[in-house]
């Protein structure tokens, strides 16, 4: 295709959302494949012997970063790019800027992943990508920040519906948090040293979930609940309390990852207290959304996009009951450093934000493509594959974590514990295959929707 026509097409309505949603679907499939690579290692450690780029230490990092930034972040932003102009009754400030942001983010992930497979890592969880990728991520968010703010400035709807608060908050917080957490003033290492570095990292590490993917997912759910229920939002006040209390409490809780580390005790105490205080913003969101749907839950079961999104809010409730519990020092003596936390991570990132991202994508896809979803049946198949795979992960990893934790607490040798993990890791591998199948079926459905979906006038 000639260059000019591509540039022209980048300015078309919804091209930004399309780029983010299609990239998100592709990274979902690739990122879970890297998860499969990691899971195989834990069942058969010699399976990829002598293939350096597939070593556990490398492919695990590829998996985590790709599903986080490639799948969840991209897909949520794709939905936000469609929803923000709708709730503000205006056009997106610049489609080209949004497309450029998607290109920058995709480049960041590609360079970052290739670097990780070559062994180039900054070695800090969720901040492993090397400096050039960090620069591209910041560029992507800066472009999105301008785009979102200018759309608000030009809006014709005076009321700022709660979704727009969450979307703009997520982007602006990330512009500040990402360079801080990645210690970008030390480009070579991306790190400070010692305990200070750990505090910096986990300030960022938990905020990337709490102040980026959570507000994006919550903003999407706030848009979809009233539309699908066909009812007004239960309470505007609750939605604003939820927004500000999220900002107030979440920013302090990163230290709950360091309860077992030699950081100041006051910092641990604040992080535990605020982990419990987090129940306030979470409760406001869930009460508000579920009460909006009250008496109309059947509408959420017949629409596959709504079903995915609704189940995402149920995972959110489970994650946020488990979260405060596992921030207690007494509980962490058993649950820290083992598969319990991996279970929490998967139900949080895939169950809560991933399910809402997918629900949001299927909801907005017809509006941005002008076509019906190619196959609603395939969404249902994907839904069941993901749900069964994730329930498997949750049960198996939680049980495995409790065994590991109890053994460690009682001083059992790892030679006794490690072989006991084999059946659990095998069951996780099987659950993973269900999730991967779901990811590829979803990708097929998205591609076919753009190519073969029945055209509609919306
Ligand atoms: C009330 C809300 C929440 C609380 C209090 C909470 C608490 C915690 C705690 C204490 C840990 C560390 C456990 C340990 O290392 O022993 C943790 C880990 C984690 N949480 Fe949450 N959580 C909450 C919600 C969420 C949400 C909404 C997400 C994602 C959207 C999330 C994603 C994660 C991830 C990915 C980890 C693993 C971090 C690692 O790699 O070690 N959490 N959470
Ligand atoms: C889109 C879906 C998925 C998401 C969002 C996701 C997310 C994550 C996250 C955040 C972590 C880091 C957890 C931590 O350090 O606490 C992780 C680790 C991991 N994931 Fe996934 N994952 C997904 C799918 C899969 C699949 C399908 C498999 C297996 C086939 C898998 C296997 C693994 C493995 C083996 C680890 C490393 C566990 C360890 O270090 O012991 N994941 N994943």
Backbone angles phi, psi at 3, to 5 degrees: -60, -40
pLDDT computed for residue 112 by the predictor:
98
Percent above pLDDT 90 for the chain: 96
Rounded distance between C-alpha atoms, residue 195 and residue 258, angstroms? 10
The runs of H, that is alpha helices, within 162-235 are 162-181, 194-207, 214-229
pLDDT computed for residue 8 by the predictor:
74
Q: Evaluate if residue 4 carries a pLDDT over 70.
A: no
Question: How many angstroms separate the alpha carbon of residue 346 from the centre of ligand 2?
Answer: 6
Render pLDDT for 255-300 as a digit per residue (tens, 0 to 9). 999 999 999 999 999 999 999 999 999 999 999 999 999 999 999 9
Render pLDDT for 52-90 as a digit per residue (tens, 0 to 9). 999 999 999 999 999 999 999 999 999 999 999 999 999
Q: Evaluate if residue 384 carries a pLDDT over 90.
A: yes
Output the ligand 1 site: residues, CB below 6 A: 125, 209, 213-214, 256-257, 275, 278, 282, 319-320, 323-324, 326-327, 332, 335-336, 341, 344-345, 348-349, 352-353
Q: Is 27 in the pocket of ligand 2 (CB under 6 A)?
A: no
Q: How is residue 193 annotated by DSSP?
A: -
Rounded distance between C-alpha atoms, residue 300 and residue 318, angstroms? 19
Residue 63 tokens read as: 């998996």
pLDDT computed for residue 7 by the predictor:
74
Question: How many angstroms separate the alpha carbon of residue 148 from the centre of ligand 2?
Answer: 31
Q: Which residues pair with 371 in a beta bridge?
A: 455
What value does the CA radius of gyration of the chain take, rounded to a whole number of Å?
21
pLDDT computed for residue 415 by the predictor:
92
What pTM does this model have? 0.97
Average pLDDT, the chain: 96
Q: Choose one of 37, 67, 344 to mutate for the ligand 2 pocket test, by most ligand atoms within 8 angstroms of C-beta.
A: 67
Rounded distance between C-alpha atoms, residue 458 and residue 455, angstroms? 10
């Amino acid at each position: 295709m000639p260059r000019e026509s591509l540039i022209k097409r980048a300015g078309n309505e919804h091209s930004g959302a399309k780029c983010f949603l299609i990239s998100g679907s592709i990274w979902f499939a690739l990122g879970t494949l890297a998860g499969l690579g990691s899971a195989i290692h834990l069942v058969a450690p010699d399976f990829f012997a002598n293939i350096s780029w597939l070593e556990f230490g490398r492919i695990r990092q590829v998996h985590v970063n790709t599903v986080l930034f490639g799948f969840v972040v991209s897909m949520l932003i794709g939905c936000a790019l469609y929803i923000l102009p709708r709730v503000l009754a205006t056009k997106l400030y610049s489609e080209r800027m949004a497309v450029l942001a998607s290109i920058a983010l995709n480049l960041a992930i590609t360079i970052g992943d290739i670097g990780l497979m070559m062994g180039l890592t900054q070695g800090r969880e969720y901040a492993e990508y090397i400096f050039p990728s960090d620069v591209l991520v910041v560029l992507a968010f800066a472009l999105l920040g301008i785009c979102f703010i200018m759309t608000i400035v030009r809006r014709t709807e005076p009321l700022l519906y709660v979704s727009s608060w969450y979307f703009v908050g997520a982007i602006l917080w990330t512009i500040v948090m990402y360079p801080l957490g990645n210690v970008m003033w030390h480009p070579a290492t991306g790190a400070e040293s010692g305990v200070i570095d750990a505090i910096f990292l986990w300030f960022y590490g938990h905020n990337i979930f709490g102040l980026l993917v959570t507000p994006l997912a919550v903003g999407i759910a706030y848009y979809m609940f009233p539309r699908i229920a066909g009812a007004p939002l239960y309470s505007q006040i609750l939605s604003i309390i939820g927004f500000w209390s999220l900002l107030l409490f979440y920013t302090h809780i990163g230290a709950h990852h360091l309860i077992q580390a030699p950081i100041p005790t006051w910092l641990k105490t604040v992080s535990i207290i605020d982990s419990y205080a987090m129940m306030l913003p979470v409760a406001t969101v869930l009460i508000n959304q579920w009460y909006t749907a009250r008496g109309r839950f059947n509408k959420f079961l017949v629409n596959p996009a709504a079903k995915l999104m609704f189940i995402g809010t149920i995972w959110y409730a489970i994650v946020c009951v488990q979260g405060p519990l596992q921030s207690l020092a007494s509980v962490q003596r058993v649950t820290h450093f083992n598969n319990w936390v991996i279970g929490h991570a998967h139900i949080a990132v895939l169950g809560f934000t991933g399910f809402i991202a997918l629900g949001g994508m299927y909801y907005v896809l017809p509006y941005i493509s002008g076509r019906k979803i190619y196959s609603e049946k395939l969404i249902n198949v994907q839904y069941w594959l993901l749900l069964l795979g994730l329930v498997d992960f949750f049960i198996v990893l939680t049980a495995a974590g409790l065994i590991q934790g109890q053994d460690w607490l009682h001083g059992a040798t790892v030679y006794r514990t490690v072989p006991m993990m084999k059946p659990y890791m095998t069951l996780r591998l099987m659950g993973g295959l269900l999730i991967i199948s779901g990811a590829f079926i979803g990708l097929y459905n998205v591609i076919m929707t753009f190519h073969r979906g029945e055209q509609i006038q919306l």
